[in-house]
Amino acid sequence: MTTSASSGKVWFITGTSTGLGRALAHVVLEHGDRLVATARDRATLTGLTEQAADRVLALNLDVTDPAAVRRAVDAALEAFGRIDVLVNNAGYAMRGALEEITDQELRRQFDTNVFGAIDVTRAVLPAMRSQRSGHIVQMSSVGGVTTMLGGTAYGGTKFALEGLSEGLAAELEHLGIGVTIVEPGPFRTDFAGRSFRWAAPIDDYRPVIEPAKATFVAQHGAQPGDPVRAARAIVAAVNLDTPPLRLPLGARSFDRIRAKLRARLDELDRLEPLGRDTDFPT
């Protein structure tokens, strides 16, 4: 596919087969923009190409395959000539106590959620630097600010992504490239269903992990968040004159993040007499 169309932004979104990524892809097209939609199985993207065939490039992409990442970015640039917005959405969650999760499972979690996002970002940045413009949207989570029982590994990947993205934003600002870290709460997607993976249990952790697991599974299909409204908020944020560094999504996200930050400030004040006066005397 090669097109000379020049209207609207060009979005490159990973993980558009389902969930928030799919909702965002549809909203981007509704907005009149152009879309590079990627998924591990391109066949899942038919609905997007049917929506706007002349504005969609659908590609196979496993973000844990660096060569595939570079091929996809090259194909996007060949088709549209530029990439204005990168959305690192591809990812999944592994749940269980840290000791229950195998080395292989933990590394795969970080390979997808962290190093996959890093590889795609690095592949896109040369084009954005050349343009002296662009925006990178990192799909984090409320779990990237405050963790829940059973979410240690997943939260670890999102905490890592948030730290990397905050540093990246400072590096790119003078080049005209922005970064927004999106922190969704629970949304009505497959995230709590087939997209989730569970570690083999260890009996000693059952008293805390099993109730957390039951609560998590019970919310599947009843999450309060509307993916379409979330997608519209993301598009609106990217199009602000000054897009935010962080964008929580959903009432539960705002409530949990606010509670975490207030607790952190309270603890900071409480521990200041103990930890502040540890510098060399002046």
Q: Are 151 and 93 in contact (CB under 8 A)?
A: yes
DSSP string, 251-267: HHHHHHHHHHHHHHHHH
Tell me the two tokens of residue 177. Answer: 């490239």
Amino acid letter at 18? Answer: T
* Calpha distance 230→87 (Å, rounded): 14
Residues annotated catalytic, as ranges: 140, 154, 158
Q: Do residues 113 and 88 touch, judged by C-beta distance below 8 A? A: no
